[in-house]
Structure 1
Amino acid sequence: MRRLRQLAERTPAGRERYVDLLRALAITMVVLGHWTITVIGYDRAGRPAGHSALGDLPWAWPLTWVAQVMPVFFLVGGYANAASLTSHGRRQHQLGASGPAPRPGAVSGDATGWLVDRSARLVRPTTALLVVLAVGAAVATLRHADPAQVRTVVWFATIPLWFLVAYLVVVPLTPPMYALHRRFGLAVPAALVGLVALGDLGRLLGPAGLATGNYLFGWLAVHQLGFAWYDARSPEPPRRRRLPLSRRAGVVLLTAGLTALVLLTVVGPYPVVMLNVPGTRLDNAAPPSLALLAAATAQLGLILLLRAPAERWLRRAGPWQAVIAVNSVVLTVFLWQLTAAVLLVGLLDALGVLPTPRVGSAAWWGWRIPWVLALAVVLAALVVVFGPIEARSRRHPTGAAPRRPWRTTLAVAGYAGIVAGLLLNSLTRKAAPEPLGLPAPALVAYLAGAGLLRLLRSGWGSRGSPRRAEGRASGW
C-alpha cells in the first residue's frame, strides 16, 4: 500500500488517468466475461472439456456490443504508444541526441530503440507463461499423458495469445503510422475503414480469406484513433489530427455507432454477436468487420460521455491507487486467466466434485458466482507468483542509442520471431499431438525472438559495456 501511495503521489498532473482506468476495466471485463460464459462438461472419453455458452444463449448476443472490448485495448494502446514514442524522442534529445528539440507531439530519436524498450513489458510476462506451460506439458508427457490431450489443455490456456499476436503486429508499425497521422490526421482511420469494407465485401461474395487483411486494417483503424486522442490534449496539432472529446461528440458517436450497428446486423448480413459463435455466417472479430468497427464507434461515444465524471472520480486517492495496482499486473492477469480455469477444473475433477450443470439451467446460473470467486482466488495466487515479472519490466531512462542498421535488422528479426511463434501456436490444431503442448517450431521461434530483443535491451552493441547498459535499462 505504501508503494501504491508513493506512485499515486508522483502521478504527473497532466496524466490522462482515464486511459489507465479504461485499460484496467477492459481487462477485468475480458476475464469476467471468459469465466462467466465458460461451460465445463465431459467429452466422450470422460475427460473435462470446455466451450462458450454463447451458442446456447442467443438472447445474450446484443450484450457483446459492450462486452467485446478489444477495440478499447487498441484505442488505449494507440494513445499509450503515441505518448511513449513522443516521450522517447524527447528523452533521447535530452540525453545527447543531436539536433533541435522536438516540437510538442513530434516524433524524433531512435525508433528501433523505442521498439526494443517497448517490447519488454509485453514479452517478459508472455515468456513466463509459455515456459511454464511448456515445462508443465513436458512433465505430463513424461508421465505418459496423451500428447493430444496435453495440447488441448495448453491450447485452451493460450487462447488469450490470439489478441497479443494482433497487438504485437500493430506496435512496430507505430512510428510510420504516427507519421501518417501527423500528416493526414483522421483521414488515415477513415481510409482503413474503407479497406475493411472491401475485405468484408470480398468474404461476403467469395472465400473468407479475402478478408484476411482486416486483421491489420481493422485494428490499425482503432489504434489511429488513440493517436488522435493523444494529440487532442495538445493545443499545437491542427484540428484534423484531434479526436473531439466533448459530450456532444460522445452523443454523436454513440448514436451513429448504434445506428450503423443495428443496420448492419439486424437489417444487414452481419451476425448480432461480436464474439466467435460456431455456425454464424461470418465472425465479426476474426477478422474485424464493419459491424465490429460500428460497435467500436458506439463504445468510443460512451467512453467520451463518461470521461468527465470518471476523471473527477480518479482524482480521489483510493480509486486511483486501485487503478495503478491493476495496471501494474494487467498483462499478467490477462495472460493467466484461463490457466487459472485449467487448474481449478483439474483440481475439482481430481476431487470428483466438478459441477457440470446444463447451460441456462438454474443450477448453471447459480454456479456462476462461486465459480468466478474460486477462479479469482486461483488467479490471485498466480499473479502473486508471476506479477513481479511484469512489474520489473518498467522502463528507466537510457542513454541515446547509436543508430546502426544491424540493430534495426535484429530488432525486426526478434519481433518477427515472437509474432511467428505465437501465430503458429494459435494456428496449430487444438488436438494435435504436441509433447510440449506448444508446437516445437513455434516455441523455438518465440524464444529466439525474445532472446534477440533481450540482448538488444541489455545494451549489447551500444556505447559502454553491456553490463552497465543493462543496469540502466531494466524494463519497459
Structure 2
Amino acid sequence: MRRLRQLAERTPPGRDRYVDLLRALAIAMVVLGHWGVTVIGHEHGRPSGHSALPDLPWAWPLTWVAQVMPVFFLVGGYANAASLAARRARGGTATGWLVDRSARLVRPTTALLLVLAAGAAVATLRGADPTQVRTVVWFATIPLWFLAAYLVVVASTPPMYALHRRFSLAVPVALAGLVALGDLGRLLGPAALADGNYLFAWLAVHQLGFAWYDARSPELPRRRRLPLDRRTGATLLLVGLGALVLLTTVGPYPVAMLHVAGERLDNAAPPSVALLAAATTQLGLILLLGGPAGRRLRRSGPWQAVIAVNAVVLTAFLWHLTAAILLVGLLDALGVLPTPPVGSATWWAWRIPWLAALAVVLAALVAVFGSIEARTRRPSGPPGPHGRAATALAVTGYAALVAGLLLNSLAPKTAPEPLGLPAPALVAYLAGAGLLRLLRSGWGSRG
C-alpha cells in the first residue's frame, strides 16, 4: 500500500488518469466477458468449451458495449502518442522509443509462451496426445491474436503519428473507407479483400487516440482538433448508435460485435464498418463520462486502485484463459465439474461461483508472473539505438514477433504439436524478442 501511495503522489499533474482507468476497465471486461459466456461441456470424454452467445440472441446488443477492443486501441493510440512525444522532447528517437516500447509487451508474453511450451513438453513426454496438447495450448493462447494486431499498430506509430500531425482526422476517415471497401469484398467478392481490415480498422481507432491526445495541442489549428466537450460526445454517441441500428437492421451486418457461429458475417474477424460504428458510439460515451470520472480519479483511493490494476493488466489478460483451463482441469479431475445446459437456471446460478473461482486462480497466476510486467521501467533519458541499421533491426524484431504470433493463431487447434505451439511460431517469436532485447541492452546503438 505504501508503494501505491508513493506512486499516486508522484503522478505528474498533466497525466490524464481517465486513460489509465479506461485501459484497466477494457481488459477487465474482456476477462469477465470471456469467463462469463463460456459454456463447459464434454467432447469425446474430455472437457471442452464454447461461447454461449449463439444460444443467447437477446444478449447480442449488449456486445455493442462489451466489445471493448476499440477502447483498448483508442487508449493505446493516446498512450503511444504521449510516450513518443515525451521521448522526442527529451531528445530521443523514434527507433529508441520503438525498442523500449516493446519491453512491456514482450516480457510477459514471452513468459506465457515459455511456460506453456514447457508444460506441453512435459505432458507430451508423459504420454499425452500431442493433438490434445495442442488444443489446450491453442485455447490458452487465444488472447495473442489481439497482441499481434497491437504490435503492428505500435510499430507503425511513428509514421502514422506523422500522418496524423499533417492530415489530422482525415486519416481515420480514409482508413474507415478502406474498411468499407473490404466489407464490399466480403459481400460481393473477392472475400480476401477484407483481410486488410485487420490492419485498417484498428489503425483507424488508434488514430483517434492520437487525435484525443492532440486535442489540446496549440500546434494544431482548432479546426483540425478533436473536440472533447459533452456536445461532441453526445453527437458521436447518437451518430454511432444510429449507424449501428441501420447497419444491423437494414444493412447486412449481424447484431453481435463478437463472433457468433452461423452468422454470415463476423463483425470482429475481420473488423467491419459496424464495429467502427460501435467504436464511434463508445468514443462518444467516453467523452460524456470523462469529466465525472476524471474528478473522481483525483482522489487517492480510486487512483491507487487504477495504478494497481495497470501494473499487471497485461499479465491478467494473457493468463486469464490459462486460469480457466487450470480450474476446469482441476474440477474435472475431482469429478465435480458442472456442465449445466446454457441458459438454464443452474447455468446462471453457476456464473457467480465460477467467476469467483476463476478470479482466485488468476490472482495466483498474477502473483507469480505479475512482477515480470510490473518491474518494467520506462526510460529516463534519450540514449538508445539510432540510425538506419537500428531502425531496420527494430522493425525486423517486431515483424518476427508478429509472424510468430500469427503462425500460432493460424495453425489448426487439432494439429499434433508436442510443444503445443508450432515450432516455427515459437522460433520466430523468440528470435524477435531476443533481437529487441539486444537492442534494448545497447547493442546496435552505433548503427
Output one character per residue of 1:179-217: Cα deviation in whole Å (capped at 9) or x when no partner. 010011001111111111111111111243210111111
Distance 1:127 1:245 in 2: 38
- What residue number does 2:55 align with? 56
- What residue number does 1:388 align with? 371
Distance 1:268 1:297 in 2: 18
Q: Are residues 1:442 and 2:425 paired?
A: yes
- What residue number does 1:70 align with? 69
- What residue number does 1:371 align with? 354
- What residue number does 1:473 align with? none
How far did 1:399 drift? 4.2
- What residue number does 1:339 align with? 322
Letter in 2 for 1:201: L
Contact map agreement 1:182 1:241 (CA 8 A) in 2: no
Output one character per residue of 1:257-291: Cα deviation in whole Å (capped at 9) or x when no partner. 00000000011100000001111011101111000
Distance 1:298 1:403 in 2: 40
**Moved segments of 4+, more than 4 Å:** none
Distance 2:387 2:175 in 1: 32
- What residue number does 1:413 align with? 396
Q: Are residues 1:153 and 2:136 paired?
A: yes
- What residue number does 2:279 align with? 296
What pairs with 1:313-332 in structure 2 (closer than 5 Å)?
313-332=296-315
TM-score by length of 2: 0.98
How far did 1:400 drift? 2.8
How far did 1:402 drift? 5.4
Query: Alignment partner of 2:156: what SS?
Result: helix
Contact map agreement 2:8 2:307 (CA 8 A) in 1: yes
- What residue number does 1:306 align with? 289
How far did 1:240 drift? 4.2
Letter in 1 for 2:102: S
Give ranges in structure 2 of 5+ residues lacking alignment: none
Output one character per residue of 1:318-368: Cα deviation in whole Å (capped at 9) or x when no partner. 000000000000100100000000000000011000000000000000000
Output one character per residue of 1:108-135: Cα deviation in whole Å (capped at 9) or x when no partner. x421111000000000000000000000
Query: Alignment partner of 1:13: what SS?
Result: coil
Relative to structure 1, the CA distance from residue 364 to residue 198 in structure 2 (aligned partners, 3 Å threshold; closer, same or farther) is same
Distance 1:383 1:184 in 2: 42
Distance 1:228 1:402 in 2: 28
Letter in 2 for 1:243: L
Distance 1:308 1:244 in 2: 14
Contact map agreement 2:93 2:382 (CA 8 A) in 1: no
Contact map agreement 1:190 1:221 (CA 8 A) in 2: yes
- What residue number does 2:218 align with? 235
How far did 1:155 drift? 0.5
Letter in 1 for 2:14: G
Output one character per residue of 1:376-418: Cα deviation in whole Å (capped at 9) or x when no partner. 0000000000000001112131443353322112111111110
- What residue number does 1:106 align with? none
Letter in 1 for 2:249: V
2:231 to 248, 261, 268: 248
Contact map agreement 2:324 2:358 (CA 8 A) in 1: yes
What is the number of equivalent residue pairs in this alignment? 446
Percentage of identical aligned residues: 82
Contact map agreement 2:229 2:287 (CA 8 A) in 1: yes
Contact map agreement 2:99 2:436 (CA 8 A) in 1: yes
Distance 1:61 1:455 in 2: 46
Distance 1:402 1:264 in 2: 47
Query: Alignment partner of 1:144: what SS?
Result: coil
Letter in 1 for 2:84: L
- The alignment yields a C-alpha RMSD, in angstroms, of 1.0
TM-score by length of 1: 0.92
Contact map agreement 1:184 1:240 (CA 8 A) in 2: no
What pairs with 1:64-463 in structure 2 (closer than 5 Å)?
64-92=63-91, 109-401=92-384, 403-462=386-445
Output one character per residue of 1:125-162: Cα deviation in whole Å (capped at 9) or x when no partner. 00000000000000000000000000000000000001
Contact map agreement 1:420 1:446 (CA 8 A) in 2: yes
Query: Alignment partner of 1:430: what SS?
Result: coil
Q: Are residues 1:41 and 2:24 paired?
A: no
Output one character per residue of 1:50-98: Cα deviation in whole Å (capped at 9) or x when no partner. 0000011111100000000000000000000000100010112xxxxxx
Letter in 1 for 2:4: L
Contact map agreement 2:100 2:379 (CA 8 A) in 1: no
Query: Alignment partner of 2:336: what SS?
Result: coil
Larger relative contact order (CA 8 Å, sep ≥ 6): 2
